[in-house]
Amino acid sequence: MSRQLKSAARRAVLRWIILLIGVQIVCPLGPVSYGQTRSQLHSTDHLRQKLDQRVEFTPSAEAPLGQLIAVAKTFDIPMGIEWMEPTKCELSASPVPAKPTVRQLLIEIIRRCPALGLTVSNGIVHIRSSRVLNRINILNLRVSRFQVMKVSLFTAEHDLRMAIDQRLHPQEYENGYYGGYGYGPGEVFALPNVTFSGSNVTVREVLDGIARSNRNAMWIVRLNEASQESEAPLARVYKNWEAIVGIWQFVPLKG
C-alpha cells in the first residue's frame, strides 16, 4: 500500500473514532431497563427471597382475609388484596406442608377460596380474583399523570383520590376546588417517604407504587360482586367523595 493510501486510511479511521466518541458523549451507552426500573427489580428480588424463606407459622385468624393480613404483617410482605364480596371459601383449610415457604403458606390460604389467585409483580404480592379486568373495577381506571415526591402516604393517597375524582367528575373542578385532610404527627404513615410518578397509570399501579415506596404498607380493596356486574358507569358508582375515600385501605406492616 502506498504512503498516500496509508495516510488516507488513517484519516478515515480517525474520523470514525471521533464520530464514535461523539455518539458516546451525546448518547452514553448505559444499562437499559425494560418494563421495570432498577429499584423495582431490586424490590422484586428482595420480595422473592422473603417468599422463598421456610417458616413455622400458623395464623390465629380463622377467615382467609385475616390470615393473609397476618402473614403479610409477620413476614413483612408488601401485598395488594382485591377482595370480592362475597367470596366463597371452604370452612376448613388444607393441610400445610411441614415448615413451608411463605409463598406456600399464602397459596394454601387462598386455596380455600377457588376464585382467588396469587401473582407477584413490581415488588408486590397480588391476591385477586380472575375478574379483576372487569371495566367496572375502579382499580382499572387510568389517570393521565400522577406524581408525588417525598410526601407522606396520607398525602399520596389524598392526591390519588383527587385524581380519581377529577377523572370521574371533571365538571366539578372547572372553577377550582377547595378541601383538605389531616392526620396526627405520630401516625406511622406520616413519614414523608413516598415518591412515585407515572403516566397513563391505573389506580392499581399507583397503589402498588405508594406501598412499594413506603416500604411499610399493604393495601386492601373490597369489591362488591353486584357492582361489578352493573352496567352503571364508574362516575355513578363512585358519585361522591365519600365513595372514593372508601375504595381502599392501607394497613401498616409494622407499627
Is residue 31's pLDDT more than 50? no
Prediction pTM value: 0.80
Beta strands in 43-183 (DSSP E): 79-85, 116-121, 124-129, 142-151
> At residue 81, does pLDDT exceed 50?
yes
Q: All 3 cell numbers of residue 180?
A: 383538605
Give the model's pLDDT for residue 230.
73
Which of 28-37, 138-147, 198-207, 217-226 shows the lowest mean pLDDT across its residues? Answer: 28-37
Task: Say what the pLDDT of residue 98 is.
Answer: 84
Contact 178, 171 (CB under 8 A): no
Best mean pLDDT range from 24-28, 128-132, 170-174, 222-226? 170-174
**pLDDT tens figures, 40-77:** 556 778 899 999 999 999 999 989 999 999 999 999 99
Residue-level pLDDT at 44: 79
What average pLDDT score do residues 191-218 get? 97
Among 49-53, 141-145, 170-174, 225-229, name the one with the lowest average pLDDT: 225-229
Determine contact, residues 210/217, Cβ cutoff 8 Å.
yes
Contact 168, 143 (CB under 8 A): no
Burial of 125 (0-12, 13-18, 19+ CB in 10 A): buried
C-alpha cell at 77: 410482605
Whether 183 has a pLDDT exceeding 70, the answer reads: yes
- Sign of the alpha-carbon dihedral angle for 4, 5, 6, 9: positive
Contact 203, 141 (CB under 8 A): yes
